[in-house]
Structures are given as C-alpha cells and as structure tokens.
Structure 1
C-alpha cells in the first residue's frame, strides 16, 4: 500500500514542513475498490479546478482481492485548505469533467506486422515476429459478472485453445485467473499478453486483441503463428 504525504516549503530547496493531515491519500487497511494508491501529481484543469492524477489497482475476485491489470491511472478531485491539498475519493468509474475534449484515435485491434519495425507496445528479449503459418491460437479472458462474484471465486478465467479455420475452438485448458495475478505471480505491471516460443523457430502472421462483450469486459486474443 502506498500513501502520499506532500510537504510544502517557500522555495524549491525548502525548508519543508509536513502536512498535519498526512497522509492526504491512502487506502491502506480499507476495503475500497481502488488499492495501492500513490505516485501522484497535482494538475490544474482548464476550468481552474484541481485534480490529483495517481496510480492504483482494482483487485478482483474474492478476499483477498487479486489484480491482473497492473497499476492503472485514476483522477481524484482536489480542494485546498490553508494552502494544502484535500484529496477526494478516486472512483473506478467517474463522469468525465466538463473540459474541452481532446479525442485520441482508437488503436487498431489487429497488428499484421507489416511495418518495418514493431510497434513500441511490443517488448521482446529475442528476435521479433515475422510472417508465416496457418495455426490460430486463442485466449479468452472471462471476467466474473458482479452477480456471480463470491469471496472464494477467481477474478477471471483464462480459456486457452486453438481455433480452426471454421471457427471451432478446441479448449485444452481453462486456468484460474488468480494464478496469473500480481499477488500470486509477483511483479507489478499486470499481465503481459504476447507470443513466445520455448524452442525452435516460430513466425507470427498477425495478432488480434478485442473485447468479447462491451458490457462485461472479457477480452479475446488471437495469435496466428
């Protein structure tokens, strides 16, 4: 768990004094839906309001919760009291502030690896993908619906299999998602989905990542090696 205790001072080199209300942002020892809050920045919005941009995680499944997406970015409203920030509650879902929109193009769900270099989102410790192959490997991420959540239930299920040309899906394994959570596997970036060959040479034609259902959020990954 991380907390934010901002000191203040008359100059960049101090002297600094702590805030008597420290920590101004902490979800330690609580059951709030956003945990591990911290690494925050204060920003002033176009309308003059103040906000805190921070990192946090959203544990899923039963207690203790397990998170699988790494640390996400959240906004929390900020007011000021005697020159010190008072931080409101970051929420998993919030209404967009009434600021001028700056739309960003939606990235494509498919990568055909046709560019001279792979996109920066790809990470690798060895050689990069290259075209070839008729086999389609597929991963479905099945998140639990709110009505189905239970203290002893996993945060999601990973359905691993091979998809035939006619769309038939052979599923040899459906591992419990908690075993690929940060709390069990370690690390702090969440799951990294990609392609890997344990031996020999494998060439990948394309990679596809898209939601299966917009309302419930499970996703689907298809690899064509």
Structure 2
C-alpha cells in the first residue's frame, strides 16, 4: 500500500497514478539503515507563527499540511510543498458557516488537531470541533478545496483523531480519550488513553465499540496518535508528557492496526525536555517520507526566549527533523534544531483586491459579516458593533505574527465617529492596541483583566498606527528575562511620530496567556465604521 493511495502506510510511491493498488515499498523506504541525508539542514521552523498540531500527507511528489485554528476563521489551513521546506497556503477546510460550531465556541475550543490523509483520489481530514460539533470527517478531491460540510462521527468523543486503513480497507479512527464534546466526559485532568474505533467514512457511523490501545509510558496526557504500516509492523506514534516543556513523542508497534502494541525501548524517542535547546515542547508529530527516500517527523514546538527560556511569543509553531527506522525496526529521530530562515519577510496589503487574501483571519464569525472592500476602493472598511477586543466576537481581521522581531503599521481613518485601530492579540484577556478616534490616539495594554492606557490628541485626519517588536535593551537581570518589548506608536496626519508606550511582551506568550492559539496582528473596529489601508509587515528572526 502507498501513501499516494492511502495514508495508512508510511511507504510511498513517486506518483499518485496507482490509486487503490497495492505497492511494494522502495528499497530506500524499506532499508533498515539510515537513509541518505538531505542536501541541506532543514529550515526550522518550517512554518512560523501560530501553526500548531501539524499533520502531513505525501501524495506523489506533493506534500499537504494541516494545522489547528481553534476559534479563528477561516479554519484549518492547508499548506502545500514539494520539498518539505517551502510551504504555501492553498486553502482552508472551513470557509463557510456551519462546518464548525464556531459562533459560540469558547476560547480554547474549536478546531483541534487535524489529521490529513489521502486514499483513492479523495483527501480526508478528521478533526475534533472541541466544545462544538464533535469529531468530524471532512473530504475533498482537491486539497485546496472546496471541502465537504463534514460528517460527525456519531457518539465518539475524543481529541486528536487519526485516520488509517487496514489491508482489507477497514477505516480506523484512533484518538485520545479526552471528552470535550458530550458534556458528560471526564474532568480536564482525567484521561482515557489512546482509543480506537472502526468507522463507515460515508456516514460517520462507528462500526465497533471503542477499544483501548495504549496508555503510553506513564507520562501525562497520551494524545496525538498516528498509526502507520511499515514493513511487518503497525506503528502507533503518540505525544505524551503534556504540550508544555515535558512534551515528547513515543512509539509502540504491533502486528495489526488494533495491536496489541509493544512499547519502544527508548521512549520518548523525541523530546527536548530538561535540555537548553532553543526549540522546546517538541511533540505532536506526524511521520512522512522525504523527497530523497528518507524519513522526517513534522511536529509542533516552541521557541522560548529570555535569559531562562521562559516565554514563547510565537506560541506553537511547525518544525521538522529527520527520522529513521533502526536495524531492529524501531523509530528514532534527530534533535530538533533551530535554523530560522535568514531572509526578512515583507507583507504589504493595499486592500485593492476583490476579496481579502487567505492569511486574514476573523474571530468566530466570517469577515464578510462586518468587512467591506468595496465601500472605499483601496481600503478595507470594518463596521463596529460595540464589541471590543475583550469580547468573543470583535469586528477584526488579523494575521499571524511570524517573527520574533517585526515592524507593523497600517493607516487608520476613523472618520468623524469611528473607533478602531491596530492590535497584537493573544486572546480576550491579553492584547495590546493602538486605537484611533477623531483627534485622539490611545495606546492600551490589557493583561488578565488589568488595563492601562496612554492617550494623546492629534490633528484631524488618518493616523498610521504602529507596533514594533524589539529586544529588551535593559542591563538589569530582570530586563533580560522577557521575550520582547512591544512599542506602541502612531504617526499623525501632519507626519509627526509619537511613541505612546513600551510594554513587556511576556504577557502575550504561550506560557503566560496559556490559551492554545498564538499572537495575531489585528485591524479592528469597536464602533462606527473605520477604514484601513497600506498594511505593512516586516519580520525577521534576527535582531
């Protein structure tokens, strides 16, 4: 069986033309020795910013990657690559109302941990709409979309579902036993281990009762299972240790997709715990064949900074490392090494297209509810409804912050009665913003219900709001602990620059905010209509 035909097996063919037919793994895929190394070190992260819980599938010479998006829309981005190095967003699974129960989803809920697979000309993506619809199977014949409305796996309550097919075509969903959807599940710290059902993929009906496959090695939260058929074994790869610093990847193997499974001798075989590596929290991985016939694991990780590596401003990102099957048939992997791309990323958006580009996100409702690109050509107009950034459904469009050091600006025209601006947001409780109204600019920092603001009067007319993410330059030990400093500023209509405030970036980090997403850069309106143009982002991982 081939991943070009089915995602059950980690052996792949070079084309997708043999869909449905069994194939013999190539010599490179079957060899017990280490495969040929890549010609250059992997870039890491391969996808920077808020792209957690990655899953990848190889179809012929193409790779497709999916990530969690939680309460953000459009949901579940699909990225494409031909070399596992350069990735481009080609679409989203969730691009219309009803596919997820997004409108009332609480923070931390929504689109959790997809698995993307391919079989017989169809892409499958299985995911949990946590605190929403439940476990859902989406399908498409083109990974770029459109994707189906989604079929609920009836009565199965768990997270991080995986999809694999047995040699006889039976579809197996293997998942982590944490109930976030029935309302009757265990508490947040109780766990059912790794479970499995067989399913009818056309109806979503389970064909068997859940069975227990593995509780892991004893570390907390066994989750993110992925099942692979390679050689004579079925491999069950999981994450355990929690998604924090103890995160790691472990493996077990058995003679059938339902086990019984024998744990590997060196679990967790991939982890950064108790090390000083610049990439921490490595786990939640998916195994894939590389273009040169070797193996790699794509996983989430974080880049904590500061003197004690305490704060991860970018949240959970997507990383890669080389892996291999050893002579005795077990998986091993290299440490995940930091190798940021040297070039700066520059994004300019003059809002002169007919639609927003696909990197703009909104919260729990689609931007079409409150955004217009036609009211004033060359501008995006946002209509506020009284909701602020403290509320669950603000009128905002946002892009991910992709780099530790970045400069962001946008021209804001509030007219005579609008209020809105430019923000960096982690969640409803953690955000900094530069807000513009007629003749006034206000910088505000909100952290866990505590808010401080700084205001100044400016000449009438549009204002350029700015956010700069810079390194702390203090000389004290305390100043060296933080992740970064966020400088909130504005350039008024007369061309005068104003620095309104400098605030500590650590409060907008994964460790402090603790919600599951990451930093986004938001344009927002709280009341009236506010128009924006000339959005500019320039980011780099070098100071």
- Pairwise TM-score range, normalised by the shorter structure: 0.7 to 0.9
- Pick the aligned partner of 1:128 from 366, 371, 393: 371
The 1:128–1:112 alpha-carbon spacing in structure 2 relative to 1, beyond 3 Å, is same
- Pick the aligned partner of 1:88 from 309, 314, 334: 334
The residue aligned with 1:17 is 262
CA offsets, 1:133-156, max 9 Å, x none? 3221011111358xx895652211
Distance 2:535 2:499 in 1: 19
Q: CA deviation at 1:94?
A: 7.5
The residue aligned with 1:220 is none
The 1:93–1:167 alpha-carbon spacing in structure 2 relative to 1, beyond 3 Å, is farther
Distance 2:340 2:500 in 1: 39
1:216 aligns with 2:536: no
Structure 1 unaligned spans of 5+: 96-105, 218-225
1:190 aligns with 2:518: yes
Distance 2:349 2:517 in 1: 22
Q: CA deviation at 1:128?
A: 2.1
CA offsets, 1:169-190, max 9 Å, x none? 2011110111211222221322
The residue aligned with 1:103 is none
| Partner SS state of residue 203, structure 1 | strand
The residue aligned with 1:101 is none
Q: CA deviation at 1:72?
A: 1.6
Query: CA contact under 8 A between 1:180 and 1:191: conserved in structure 2?
Result: yes
RMSD: 2.8
Aligned positions of 1:1-225 closer than 5 A: 1=244, 2-63=247-308, 65-81=310-326, 82-93=328-339, 109-125=347-363, 127-128=370-371, 130=373, 131=379, 133=413, 134-144=462-472, 152-153=479-480, 154-164=482-492, 168-211=496-539, 216-217=542-543
Distance 1:189 1:175 in 2: 21
| Partner SS state of residue 8, structure 1 | strand
More displaced, 9-18 or 48-57? 9-18
| Partner SS state of residue 113, structure 1 | coil
Query: CA contact under 8 A between 1:113 and 1:129: conserved in structure 2?
Result: no
| Partner SS state of residue 178, structure 1 | helix
Q: CA deviation at 1:41?
A: 1.4
Structure 2 unaligned spans of 5+: 1-243, 364-368, 374-378, 382-412, 414-461
The 1:107–1:159 alpha-carbon spacing in structure 2 relative to 1, beyond 3 Å, is closer
Query: CA contact under 8 A between 1:70 and 1:191: conserved in structure 2?
Result: yes
| Partner SS state of residue 118, structure 1 | coil
Larger strand proportion, structure 1 or 2? 2
Distance 1:7 1:70 in 2: 29
Q: Which is greater in Rg?
A: 2
- Number of matched residues? 204
The 1:92–1:10 alpha-carbon spacing in structure 2 relative to 1, beyond 3 Å, is same
The structure whose RCO (Cα within 8 Å, separation 6+) is larger is: 1
